């Protein structure tokens, strides 16, 4: 249902009969809540998040489009997360299972003002769908609607903040042996050694050409998040750790202990669309009980 959220910003609440739910603000097309059928919140949103345009909400699932990070001339992570989206009442049919799930369709088109920033016209349709098992699927469709024949290119990420009980008891599986660009070392390219990724300090890595499925194991909660992605070859892993956390006005100092960003993304090879062409980027999130045993 459509209702007023923080500071009167409009949001849509999706509820599944089995008790799971999700919330998305029209501001930013920004998912800020995903709860399982026990009412447990699975996403992290900082208690100091600033729900005031043009500041992006700190947490949930920011949409990074048409630029990831500072990889281009636009503001950090582009502008989709800083704009007001509309409810798409007449979306083109989406031939996926999400049509039978509880879902909402949002759309973002550039205003004349926006065209001054990024001289392209596009339609960005975002579907947020809640599955009967409590899974949350985000489907992005970007279409180039330039009428002057110009193609455009963009980079993209679902900047998902997962809620974890204790970052030092979390491991990520599926990225071992993959190459990554290390944002903390001038984005130089390295190869991930060893087995699962664990966390003892700041991490900011763009893993390249990664598998469809990535798992995030939370030891204390005996819970595994699974990301299944399509059209998004890369995956960013980020935890700011203590120093960076202190420096963020919209972050509580020890918030870094209770969050981890694992972001399905298209970064190394920007997406290029000719007029009329459409790109799809899908991430399906699920949270399953796990018999996590360290070292397994």
Q: Which residues here bind ligand TA6, judged by CB under 6 A? A: 56, 69, 76-77, 159, 183, 204, 236, 238, 261, 263
Cβ of residue 61: shortest distance to ligand TA6, in angstroms?
A: 12
Cβ of residue 137: shortest distance to ligand TA6, in angstroms?
A: 21
Non-local (6+) Cβ contacts of 60 within 8 A are 30, 31, 32, 33, 43, 44, 45, 160, 161
Q: Collapsing DSSP states into helix, strand and coil, what is residue 259?
A: strand
Of the candidates 178, 282, 168, 293, the residue with the CA atom closest to the CA atom of residue 224: 293
**Is 263 part of the annotated catalytic residue set?**
yes
Task: Return phi, psi of residue 233, to 5°.
Answer: -70, -25
**Closer CB to ligand TA6, residue 138 or residue 236?**
236
Cβ of residue 249: shortest distance to ligand TA6, in angstroms?
A: 10
**Is 159 part of the annotated catalytic residue set?**
yes
Given a contact cutoff of 8 angstroms between Cβ atoms, the answer to whether 98 and 108 are in contact is: no
Determine which one of 77, 159, 192, 284 is catalytic.
Answer: 159
Cβ of residue 118: shortest distance to ligand TA6, in angstroms?
A: 17
Cβ of residue 10: shortest distance to ligand TA6, in angstroms?
A: 22
Determine which one of 23, 30, 103, 263 is catalytic.
Answer: 263
**Closer CB to ligand TA6, residue 14 or residue 197?**
197
Q: What is the residue-wise DSSP string for 95-146?
A: -SGGGGSEEEEEEE---HHHHHHS---EEEEEEEEE-TTS-EEEEEEEEE--
Tell me the C-alpha distance between 226 and 284, whole Å: 8
Of the candidates 28, 98, 14, 37, the residue with the CA atom closest to the CA atom of residue 61: 28
Binding-site residues for substrate: 58, 76, 81
**Closer CB to ligand TA6, residue 21 or residue 69?**
69
The distance in angstroms from the start CA to the end CA of the chain is: 43
Binding-site residues: 58, 76, 81
Which of the 8 DSSP states describes residue 67?
-
**Closer CB to ligand TA6, residue 62 or residue 134?**
62
Going through the chain in order, the beta strands assigned E by DSSP cover 2-4, 10-15, 21-25, 30-35, 63-64, 86-87, 102-108, 122-130, 136-144, 152-158, 161-163, 170-173, 179-182, 188-191, 203-207, 213-218, 223-230, 234-239, 259-273, 278-289
**Closer CB to ligand TA6, residue 28 or residue 131?**
28
**Closer CB to ligand TA6, residue 5 or residue 62?**
62
Tell me the C-alpha distance between 2 and 16, whole Å: 15
Provide the sign of the torsion angle of the four alpha carbons 140, 155, 206, 252, taken in this order: negative
Q: Name the residue number minimizing CB distance to ligand TA6.
A: 238
- What residues are annotated to the active site? 159, 263
């Amino acid at each position: 249902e459509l209702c007023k959220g923080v500071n009167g910003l409009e949001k849509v609440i999706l509820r599944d009969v089995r008790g799971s739910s999700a919330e998305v603000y029209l501001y930013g097309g920004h998912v800020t809540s995903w709860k399982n059928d026990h009412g447990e919140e699975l996403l992290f949103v900082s208690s100091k998040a600033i729900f005031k345009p043009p500041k992006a909400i700190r947490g949930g699932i920011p949409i990074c489009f048409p630029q990831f990070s500072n990889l281009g001339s636009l503001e950090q992570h582009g502008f989709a997360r800083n704009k007001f989206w509309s409810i798409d009442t007449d979306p083109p049919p989406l031939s996926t299972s999400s049509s039978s799930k509880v879902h909402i369709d949002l759309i973002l088109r550039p205003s004349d003002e926006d065209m001054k920033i990024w001289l392209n016209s596009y339609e960005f349709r975002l579907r947020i769908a809640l599955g009967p098992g409590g899974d949350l699927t985000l489907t992005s469709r970007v279409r180039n609607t330039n009428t002057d024949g110009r193609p455009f290119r963009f980079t993209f990420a679902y900047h998902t903040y997962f809620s974890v009980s204790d970052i030092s008891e979390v491991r990520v599986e599926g990225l071992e042996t993959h190459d990554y660009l290390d944002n903390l070392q001038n984005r130089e390219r390295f190869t991930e050694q060893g087995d699962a990724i664990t966390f003892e300090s700041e991490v900011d890595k763009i893993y390249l050409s990664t598998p469809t499925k990535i798992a995030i194991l939370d030891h204390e909660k005996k819970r595994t998040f699974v990301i299944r992605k399509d059209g998004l070859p890369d995956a960013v892993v980020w935890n700011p750790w203590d120093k960076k956390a202190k420096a963020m006005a919209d972050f509580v100092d020890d918030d870094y202990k209770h969050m981890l960003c694992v972001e399905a993304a298209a970064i190394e090879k920007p997406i290029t669309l000719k007029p009329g062409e459409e790109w799809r980027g899908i991430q399906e999130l699920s949270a399953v009980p796990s018999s996590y045993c360290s070292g397994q």
